[in-house]
Structure 1
């Protein structure tokens, strides 16, 4: 029975791992280790179980297990730092957290709970993504040819800004950064990428940075046919980097739609800062922000502050810094709560004041304001403006969906979240969208569906406090008290200070009946 995940197939009978039909060379113990993790993906597999299954009970060193886990990750394009597919669970073992399906063309484990059996993964064939009715594109991570792996963040930042420039063109459908970047460091089949992401065009390229000189190459491919549309090289000095990015965006757009109005390109141009050093720190912070862990957020916040120090009018940096404070609050990581909340509000207000035409600043700053200042209506208005400025910005859709769920607009919230998933179908931060879905279904009274979404979010980021709280409350309302109490134990371990009396300080739930519903679920589960 072959197992499929992402673009890999693990065939137990043939003892073969393939990626898009090409065999991936792995040793026998690495294959057995991967098979154990994938076949038991619904739970954590302990080291003792792995020793018994892979090494037949022989005593091996801790470093041997670790080196084989690293080999598994390398074979499937994962890393110990990213842990996109194989997650280390401290003092417990390992868990395969990718979406697994049975590769027989008939049944698959769906990533979404179905309406007929909420709370359980339905077995249905994954639906192919239909091409949008307007030109659609994904920009793959560019290769870093600088010879220094530490410069990866710079090449990634170049691509993010190109994605941003293309996203602001209203008639383009642009896949979000996080889904594009799941292909980083992997040999790709462009036509397969187009099918997986549901787009017609793929842009790929490379970046070489040497001293103050930058060379960027790009090639645009029609993924439906594999035809190369154009390939160009762009060269300049580091202080002209934004002009080079604009040239690439213009070339892409001109190739896709030669009849494009010049005004549309001009509207898409935006120089975020005059300080290249501030821009450099912003790119470093953004690279960390997507991780979601406490350590990554702490580091990102320091770099955003450095960017702000170098350019006190850098709206996006203010928005990202404010959002780091929100993320610390929502996960119970604040050490000096009132002071940090006040600082987050200050940063968020500066972001939206300085960035009236900056979709990223409005998205992150508006969402942070809603949570830190409790002004959900203003937050929704700011995110709606961000979506007008950049209709392809996935965070504007899923963060807006979360705010609508908190306001009680559950149907609109689910629509927003589904649209975000279409913009970023392979997003490693899918946990944010999943917890939004859990919130919306919980307030709609669909507790089993809410629990299923909360479990998915928790599985992707175990430290995500709202997911654990929603899981406890959903199970309690459904009468599954054993599961509710287990979830509550984890909740109390993550944040011992959370109480029924401070729920609204933690989450700005707008409707009294929704707050009462949430509080009652947690009370039944045992929250003081």
Structure 2
């Protein structure tokens, strides 16, 4: 293989190599873009034919929209109208036979399935058959109709909109009603978080319904006191808004709700509901039914029952806790945890409370010391597992457990995937699914998950940031810039912040610092500390004085600066003893520490860790390395060689190489970091030319050896030490060092101004 990323993804549809096949009496000839009966043929557009081939290959299973985009548009980012147009054209084609040659069923929010009616099953008749009920005869009798259909398809191609609807399309094809549920106002002296929790629950219930597209809770929360609903509709891409208020007093509750059409501010429905706290579930159900009736939609999900319902006083505590957790502040999460404990004392069988308690403890742990963090982490895991024992199909519990376990392990990934199956319209779960897909090397699916998350949560900063970063790393520069442009709707601070992250991704570190410092100075909340921390970390990486306090951020390369000596043996054992703690809390530090220990010939300590049940950096004896573990492979392989276990090292490298090749064969585009990791593996296998080609490609695509776990000098990296002295490697080494020096000078000039 001359280079990386040249393989064609196996699922891509190539019409020229797709053999002819039958759909009932219809003969499909993909290479000729024709469908025929009795010798009479119709030519289809290439994209329409690709969609037909994909649906036929997947029958009788449902083919997701994301899969259709991957197979028929080669991963290119296009609008939903492009796929809708192809499906409508195929439905009209099928209707030209009597009975229809095939039927395309819509599975709302998922995709499509193609079915061949039993009356048309079987092989195609001979080309000159005298059959009367076929496509050829129908078209021969209806030349005018053929012309009209051809013109309609052409118009749809040019405009990308529907020009025709038929009674044969089922009611489930009706486009989902797009709606935002704004935080309900609190009209009582009670805790305001109860009202927010109430609106969150209504939002969650509507989001599970296939005939609704609901803006996520984080994005809707930006408009708590919105005066201009047209702005809400524009920024959240919705046609309707549900707003309301809650008043509680002496165990009674009154909920006022109104459904508003955003384009003209017209109230389509409004009502008030009175009852006791025990009536809250019934009130929520009544509001959902009223919204569905006003928008001519149907609610098809069964109301919650069993361990998913509880009595009013318990639910009141639960709703208040949910409202507190929505702020994502560790201090509020700790308060929420206490409320949830009280709720569970009253009803220990209420599964959502157990799940939320685990999530609250995990959020509260972010502000604690390492020891307390680990204790809360273990407690959170126990509580969420208990929730799943009570309610095995509780999507939020599966998602919470995957998040708590850190996304990377097979168990964590399985729970995230299950959560996405149970609730495919939760923006947070889709965001987590993107992490899981990336760890598995399914980068197209990773980006697709982030795209869906941002569509549901168009104002969720972390989702926008991550989608922009992975789009840029995969070479979709324009798409990355489009995501960053969304930051304008978040205000000046976040707009600067997102521009900074994209600049960092492009290797323009001085420009990143400029944007982050601008975002930190403008109006805003905790994001100012976030951006100041990112700027300070980057300045230290460039060898400049720290200009800001380190805060929680996703671009945090200070490890490569502050870790210059390996830890003591006691510290190393303490940070590797607990496998969960090692993965969730210590992994980046341990990776840098292991590199430094290897340089100091402390390989025996590394091997002792590798041979333990916890493993070394997630790698264990006898287990094949996962894609997300590739950075650790060179360290472990070199430790094994230093310890006289070369056969084990060679086997580990061969397995890593196999993992890399499998991903490259399946993915059309891959991140630049994968090529850099592959280069390290191949260099240790002695395949220097291939390693250098991969490394040159990584640098060409924007990789600059600037990860927080990278050593300051690329020549000191364990995986690249065998390349030192090679002219091509030294050119790369010089290019990176010169780039960092130039960025350092530009950043210093920026600070002086």
The answer as to 2:326 corresponding to 1:290 is yes
**C-alpha deviation, 1:197, in angstroms:** 0.9
Conserved? CA contact 1:203–1:218, under 8 Å: yes
Any residues of structure 2 matched to 1:414-453 within 5 Å, and which? 414-427=447-460, 430-431=461-462, 434=465, 438=469, 449=502, 451-452=504-505
The answer as to 2:203 corresponding to 1:163 is yes
SS in 2 for 1:524: coil
**C-alpha deviation, 1:140, in angstroms:** 1.5
SS in 2 for 1:151: coil
Conserved? CA contact 1:142–1:207, under 8 Å: yes
**C-alpha deviation, 1:309, in angstroms:** 2.9
Give the Cα–Cα distance (whole angstroms) in 2 for the partners of residues 337 and 217 of structure 1.
41
Task: Name the CA shift for 1:393/1:272 in 2 (closer, same or farther; >3 Å).
Answer: same
**C-alpha deviation, 1:270, in angstroms:** 8.4
The answer as to 2:391 corresponding to 1:355 is yes
SS in 2 for 1:366: helix
Task: Name the CA shift for 1:338/1:192 in 2 (closer, same or farther; >3 Å).
Answer: closer
| CA RMSD of superposed structures (Å) | 4.6
Aligned to 1:320: 356
Give the Cα–Cα distance (whole angstroms) in 2 for the partners of residues 491 and 277 of structure 1.
52
- 1:469-504 superposed Cα distances (whole Å, 9 cap, x missing partner): 99769x96xxx56599985459999xxx99998674
**C-alpha deviation, 1:252, in angstroms:** 0.5
SS in 2 for 1:180: helix
Aligned to 1:137: 179
Aligned to 2:709: 522
SS in 1 for 2:238: coil
Conserved? CA contact 1:468–1:491, under 8 Å: no
Whichever structure has more strand as a proportion of its residues is: 1
Aligned to 1:50: none
- 1:361-386 superposed Cα distances (whole Å, 9 cap, x missing partner): 22212322345xx6x33333333333
Task: Name the CA shift for 1:297/1:158 in 2 (closer, same or farther; >3 Å).
Answer: closer
Aligned to 1:203: 242
Give the Cα–Cα distance (whole angstroms) in 2 for the partners of residues 243 and 288 of structure 1.
23
Any residues of structure 2 matched to 1:450-489 within 5 Å, and which? 451-452=504-505, 461=527, 487-489=556-558
Structure 1, 203-212 or 303-312: larger mean CA deviation: 303-312
Structure 2 length as normaliser, TM-score?
A: 0.43
Whichever structure has more helix as a proportion of its residues is: 2
Conserved? CA contact 1:143–1:206, under 8 Å: yes
Task: Name the CA shift for 1:296/1:441 in 2 (closer, same or farther; >3 Å).
Answer: farther
**C-alpha deviation, 1:173, in angstroms:** 0.3
Conserved? CA contact 2:226–2:232, under 8 Å: no
Give the Cα–Cα distance (whole angstroms) in 2 for the partners of residues 342 and 352 of structure 1.
16
The answer as to 2:497 corresponding to 1:380 is no
Aligned to 2:264: 225
Structure 1 length as normaliser, TM-score?
A: 0.60
**C-alpha deviation, 1:333, in angstroms:** 4.0
**C-alpha deviation, 1:158, in angstroms:** 1.3
- 1:179-212 superposed Cα distances (whole Å, 9 cap, x missing partner): 112111x242222211121011111122222222
Aligned to 2:630: 513
The answer as to 2:458 corresponding to 1:341 is no
Give the Cα–Cα distance (whole angstroms) in 2 for the partners of residues 514 and 268 of structure 1.
45
How many correspondences in the alignment? 381
Conserved? CA contact 1:176–1:423, under 8 Å: yes
Any residues of structure 2 matched to 1:177-192 within 5 Å, and which? 177-184=217-224, 186-192=225-231
- 1:412-445 superposed Cα distances (whole Å, 9 cap, x missing partner): 2222122212112223xx2366357657877999
Q: 1:403 aligns with which of 436, 443, 447?
A: 436
Q: 1:154 aligns with which of 184, 190, 194?
A: 194
**Greater gyration radius:** 2
Conserved? CA contact 2:191–2:320, under 8 Å: no
**C-alpha deviation, 1:402, in angstroms:** 2.4
**C-alpha deviation, 1:232, in angstroms:** 1.6
- Unaligned runs of at least 5 residues, structure 2: 1-76, 78-160, 162-173, 478-499, 507-511, 521-525, 549-555, 577-581, 588-617, 619-625, 634-676, 678-704, 714-753
Structure 1, 386-395 or 199-208: larger mean CA deviation: 386-395
Give the Cα–Cα distance (whole angstroms) in 2 for the partners of residues 419 and 296 of structure 1.
29
Give the Cα–Cα distance (whole angstroms) in 1 for the partners of residues 415 and 535 of structure 2.
27
**C-alpha deviation, 1:160, in angstroms:** 0.9
Aligned to 2:346: 310
- 1:212-246 superposed Cα distances (whole Å, 9 cap, x missing partner): 22221221122233332112222222211110111
SS in 2 for 1:522: coil
